[in-house]
Structure 1
Amino acid sequence: MVSMMMQAFLVVTVITAVMMYLVYLGYFDTVHTEVGRQFYAERYSAKWSKVFPPWLNMPYNTFVNLGYIVVGAFYCAKTSVSLHVKQITSSDSVLFYTFNIMATFYGAIQAVRILTQFHRSAVLDQWYTLPFFMWVFVWSSHLDSGIGIKGMVSWMAISLLSYCLTLVHMHGFEIALALHILFAVYGAITIYRKFPIKEAQQPFIWALIFCAGFVFLKLADLELPNLNPMFEKISGHFLSKIADILQIYCVNKYFEILTLYKNSVQNKKSK
């Protein structure tokens, strides 16, 4: 149990370190990113200056990233319990562990972007988004007919390399992200067709709603304060992160339901 989680942790850590090093070397310095307070609707109120230091001038957008860590840690713990009682297999656990360890790392990466407003931290934030959606496709393929290590590595390599679109087009990231979302939705629908159980419908629909909410709220961040000044505190960017965190939770729930169902069916056939 511990070894599977440690293996996933080491793999995610190594890949993340390589990504950070490539960004540090400046390979993506020409990529377009939105850096600076002018791109965020959240305003630093006078009362926060009495509580937080000046560099923590977007507290809502900073602390919301703890949600990724909480959800990731929760599902890592839940995966360990499920593996211990043999509800899932070792190969299933790798998918859960990897996804949720990525979530915890992602929370930290986004917090660094908010706090520093450095171009390179923004690049890493963008780049790290893509493997999340590709992992949903990989996960679906695993449940469908098995994908194997070679398949996982191939698809994740394609996902990571797709960020190079940012070097040839101003909206390369948006193009890559849209393709990743389509892959994720296609994979999720495909595996549901194979295991069409009612319990999986709700988390799937909510994941789509939260995904759409994540995109819309982030794009509308600077426009929402025109509707109500409240959105200068509880900003669209902050709410988009709430939607994203809930999306990750729903994806976990969706694959948890399908994985348990698939394993229960296989166990019945083997008896």
Structure 2
Amino acid sequence: MQPESTQALCHVAVASCLCMAVVCAGVFDGVSVQVGYEHYAEAPVASLPVFLAMPFNSLINVAYVLLGTYWLRRRASGPGHPEALRRARYLKDVFAAMALVYGPVQWLRIATQVHPAAVLDQWLTLPIFAWPIAWCLSLDRGWRPCLFLAIECLSLGSYGLARLHPRGFEAALGVHIAAVVGQALHAHRRHGGPSSGRYLALGVLSCSGFVVLKLCDHQLAQWRLFQRLTGHFWSKVCDVLQFHCAFLFLTDLSTRQTPPRARKTH
């Protein structure tokens, strides 16, 4: 494994452990989250072990791990300079490591239906959406570790809205989605081409499916098509697809990018 890959995995692991420590310390005990099988259209199967009580909503989380593994093993694309390739590899591998972590966290929430797991699931969603913003900014501003850290810290801090209002998380997530789409459009205009435009369109479509299908989980269950494979399940399929499209979009832009000679390197 390349040093940049190891560094990316370590950074995501440390950040995830810190988030778990904060949650376990009870900082977000007052946050309103949905806990209990009644919040899902998929009926639990009593004969299955607890980690498969809702089999389809549980097993879909394997897809995040497979996606993260695939992109972690895939070669980084970028300008031919070795330093630029190392940085492109780090950006890619941080995003891949986030997918590797997110799958088990979501599965833990599904399996346990306890408040801390639900809070952690929500909280880790925000920095995942924030990372493409940092990646896009790197195409314009070069390698700015302090900026990347500031974006992730601001994203993590925005979960504080969930303590202030029952819909605080939804507000923070909505702002993240709008910021990602806006930054992606800007990056596409400056660096993109036909292929990146297709990936961006598919990513936005997948994101829309992720939001709508999850919100309409119970309403869709009246239709036979969504009674076994429910809206929540398909929303997670869309989530994996938008993750993959984000990888394709950002690596495509990185491949096209020609870095300025005078760009800062610290």
Q: Classify the TM-score, shorter chain.
A: over 0.9
- Please say if 1:204 is aligned against 2:200: yes
- Please say if 1:216 is aligned against 2:212: yes
Taking structure 1 as reference, are residues 22 and 247 closer, same or farther at Cα in structure 2, changes over 3 Å only? same
Alignment of 1:111-260 (within 5 A): 111-228=107-224, 230-260=225-255
Query: Which runs of 5 or more residues in structure 1 are unaligned?
Result: none
Taking structure 1 as reference, are residues 54 and 6 closer, same or farther at Cα in structure 2, changes over 3 Å only? closer
Taking structure 1 as reference, are residues 45 and 17 closer, same or farther at Cα in structure 2, changes over 3 Å only? closer
| Residues 69, 103 of structure 1: 8 Å contact kept | yes
Alignment partners' CA distance in 2, 1:110 and 1:74: 19
Q: Secondary structure at the match of 2:175?
A: helix
Query: Which runs of 5 or more residues in structure 2 are unaligned?
Result: 262-266
Give me the TM-score of the superposition, normalised by structure 2: 0.92
| Residues 65, 111 of structure 1: 8 Å contact kept | yes
Following TM superposition, by how much is the alpha carbon of 1:232 offset from its aligned partner in structure 2, in angstroms? 2.6
Q: Sequence identity of aligned pairs in percent? A: 35
Give the paired residue count: 259
**What do residues 69-98 of structure 1 show as CA deviations (whole Å, max 9, x unaligned)?**
111110111136x58x97961111111000
Give me the TM-score of the superposition, normalised by structure 1: 0.90
Q: How much is the aligned-residue C-alpha RMSD, in angstroms?
A: 1.9
Q: Which residue of 2 aligns with 1:29?
A: 29
Q: Secondary structure at the match of 1:93?
A: helix
Following TM superposition, by how much is the alpha carbon of 1:136 offset from its aligned partner in structure 2, in angstroms? 1.0
Q: Which residue of 1 aligns with 2:264?
A: none
Letter in 1 for 2:228: K
| Residues 69, 96 of structure 2: 8 Å contact kept | yes
**What do residues 38-78 of structure 1 show as CA deviations (whole Å, max 9, x unaligned)?**
000012358xx3xx325521010001001111111101111
